[in-house]
């Protein structure tokens, strides 16, 4: 597993006391040097988190486990004999919260599970917006700047990926989730506190993100790197498979709206930025095919696309 390094754990309740400045400095350092940090005392009720964990694991056993095993057989992964680098060892489903919820359309969810997920999603949405304003404060941006950029004309997009990483007989042969940076904005992760597996790449070493009960792991996506002009950076991370234990992962993504215009904040640019400007949906279309590759070529492609568009504006023609 990863190198032993002190991972940043931040007590959010200290923002309300004498240690506010120190806590803000810890958040800033984590964003600059890690791209990840772990929140405790974040305000999301622990009993809600416990219920979500229980129901997520029950849902997997009852409705997802058989499908996962069928997937393994269909892809020839039931018996791993050689290393696999184009498939992830995970069972997932997706919930959309914003701009319009699809919770009622998710199959096999109990009413109790749906209600809890709706409550959980709203609380994480509020926490994400609180964190964005804290980042603004640290960066010297006006309060609400990041939320305004993310809003576009239709509001932000917000959704949750519910994942289970079942035991793998040959963990050295396949990743639970291959290394990547996240495309979007701010990611809030409720992960299993008993089964580890999440790692990030720091200074050339893979470092474990420690399982910590009732914590929420925060990581920064590509959009925040662009908007902050590289002051904060998205970081490569992956999930290692384990021989024992089924790891639960509930990752919620607070992203810009599809038509949000993303560019480096002028306040953070001295002369000319190395980062591109683009519409978020255009970036997502590019990311879909390049997720498991380094982010820098994606940024360069978006920059080149903008330059080409400037040189060759699309001709318009009136039609009757």
In contact, 280 and 262? CB cutoff 8 Å:
yes
pLDDT tens per residue across all 320 residues of the chain: 344 468 999 999 999 999 999 999 999 999 999 999 999 999 999 999 999 999 999 999 999 999 999 999 999 888 888 999 999 999 999 999 999 999 999 999 999 999 999 999 999 999 999 999 999 999 999 999 999 999 999 999 999 999 999 999 999 999 999 999 999 999 999 999 999 999 999 999 999 999 999 999 999 999 999 999 999 999 999 999 999 999 999 999 999 999 999 999 999 999 899 999 999 999 999 999 999 999 999 999 999 987 666 545 444 333 32
- Per the structure block, which two tokens stand in for 178? 């291959």
In contact, 193 and 212? CB cutoff 8 Å:
yes
Q: Among 188, 170, 182, which Cα is nearest to 225's?
A: 182
Q: Tell me the domain boundaries of the chain.
A: 9-258
**pTM recorded for the entire structure:** 0.93
Domain 9-258 grouped into CATH 3.10.129.10: no
Report pLDDT for 76: 87
In contact, 39 and 218? CB cutoff 8 Å:
yes
Residue 208 CB neighbour total at 10 angstroms:
17
Report pLDDT for 318: 37
The span from the CA of 184 to the CA of 218, in Å, is: 13
Report pLDDT for 308: 66
């Amino acid at each position: 597993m990863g190198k032993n390094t002190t991972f940043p754990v931040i007590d959010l309740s200290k923002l309300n006391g004498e240690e506010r400045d120190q806590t803000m400095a810890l958040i800033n350092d984590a964003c600059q040097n890690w791209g990840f940090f772990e929140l405790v005392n974040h305000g999301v009720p622990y009993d809600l988190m416990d219920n979500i964990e229980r129901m997520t694991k029950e849902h997997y056993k009852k409705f997802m486990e058989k499908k996962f095993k069928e997937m393994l057989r269909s892809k020839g992964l039931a018996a791993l004999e050689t290393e696999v680098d184009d498939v992830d060892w995970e069972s997932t489903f997706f919930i959309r919260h914003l701009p319009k919820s699809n919770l009622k359309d998710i199959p096999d969810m109990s009413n109790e599970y749906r209600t809890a997920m709706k409550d959980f999603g709203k609380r994480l949405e509020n926490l994400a917006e609180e964190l964005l304003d804290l980042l603004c404060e640290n960066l010297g941006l006006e309060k609400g700047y990041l939320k305004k950029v993310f809003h576009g004309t239709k509001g932000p997009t917000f959704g949750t990926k519910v994942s289970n990483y079942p035991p793998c007989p040959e963990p050295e042969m396949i990743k639970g989730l291959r290394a990547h940076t996240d495309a979007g904005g701010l990611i809030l992760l409720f992960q299993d506190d008993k089964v580890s597996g999440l790692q990030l790449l720091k200074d050339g070493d893979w470092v474990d993100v420690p399982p910590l009960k009732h914590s929420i792991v925060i990581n920064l996506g590509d959009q925040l790197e662009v908007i902050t002009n590289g002051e904060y950076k998205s970081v490569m991370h992956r999930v290692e498979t384990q021989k024992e234990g089924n790891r639960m992962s509930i990752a919620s993504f607070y992203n810009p709206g599809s038509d949000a215009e993303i560019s480096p904040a002028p306040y953070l640019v001295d002369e000319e930025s190395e980062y591109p400007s683009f519409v978020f949906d255009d970036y997502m279309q590019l990311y879909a095919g390049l997720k498991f590759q380094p982010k820098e070529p994606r940024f360069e492609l978006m920059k080149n696309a903008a330059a080409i568009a400037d040189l060759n504006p699309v001709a318009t023609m009136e039609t009757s």
